[in-house]
Amino acid sequence: MATLLVGDVHGCFNELQALLAQADFNPQRDTLWLTGDLVARGPDSLKVLRYVRSLGNAVRLTLGNHDLHLLAIFAGISRNKPKDNLTPLLEAPDCDELINWLRRQPVLQIDEEKALIMAHAGISPQWDIDTVKRCAREIEAILSSDIYPLFLDSMYGDLPNCWNDQLSGLSRLRYATNAFTRMRFCYPNGCLDMICKDVPKKAPAPLKPWFEISTPVTEKYSIAFGHWAALEGNGAPDGIYALDTGCCWGGKLTMLRWDDKQYFQQEFLGQEVQIGS
């Protein structure tokens, strides 16, 4: 019974299949955790969504910013750009079913027994664990409701960038969404910087990666995240696992087997590979 944590798939279906084959993944026995950004940029977003959905309870995923952007495109809020390679998915006969399944997925995974958290971008340094859970539930509730397009239409924007428990409505949801799905750098006080996307050594002072600001959450839990391909899986402190290694950008797809902390990686494949083949 293995727990397998995989970084951003971004439509790289063949690579996901080959990576899971390396660890002999069996959905009847093992659990697959996915950091989000299942779709966009890579060649086979449709196959990825169909496959992940088919795994049922064997998968635990978190939504990423590209997954939310797909929902916004479907809702007519954002434009479908050719570089995202989403047209086959949007034109598929089961697109409605896949979208309705996707918008009911979580933005946060927590395993208390393992003391493990997964979120696409990370956990805001300004949050305690109760706030983390509460904000995740609020996003998930509105995404699964009939008014989800209203939320998607308002999620774009970089403000507010400082947490206040008195935040309410769409401003509160926007901050939480940015923290869970877009955050990279913070100011020393934990306020989010939503502009810099570089590697930490090139970031202007006083910005720090969110995971370099110690909080009660990071002291109690290990955190696995994706989103930040420029890190190439490096530079995070002990207990913080950066799993996006930029497969869709010509890098690799990375998996961590949690049980023994063994890493697996898969470079781009030019042909379809099935588990067990």
Write the pLDDT tens digit of every residue in 91-107: 999 999 999 999 999 99
- What is the per-residue pLDDT across 151-160, written as a single tens digit (0 to 9) for each? 999 999 999 9
pLDDT at residue 268 in the model: 80
- 269: three-class secondary structure by DSSP: coil
Q: Is 160 exposed, middle or buried (0-12, 13-18, 19+ CB in 10 A)?
A: middle
User: What is the overall mean pLDDT for the chain?
Assistant: 95
Amino acid type, 273: V
- Fold for 3-267, please state it: Purple Acid Phosphatase; chain A, domain 2 (3.60.21)
Query: Does 274 score more than 90 pLDDT?
Result: no
Measured at the CA of 66, the angle between CA 63 and CA 72, to 5 degrees, comes to 95
Is residue 255 within 8 A of residue 1, CB to CB? The reply is no
Predicted pLDDT at 269: 79
Q: Locate the domains of the chain by residue range.
A: 3-267
Query: What pLDDT score does 270 carry?
Result: 57
Binned at pLDDT 50, 70 and 90, residue 189 comes out as very high
Whether the predicted pLDDT of 276 surpasses 50: no
Length of the chain equals: 277
Query: Which residues lie closer than 8 Å to 66 by C-beta, 6 or more apart?
Result: 10, 36, 37, 38, 39, 40, 41, 84
Overall pTM > 0.85: yes
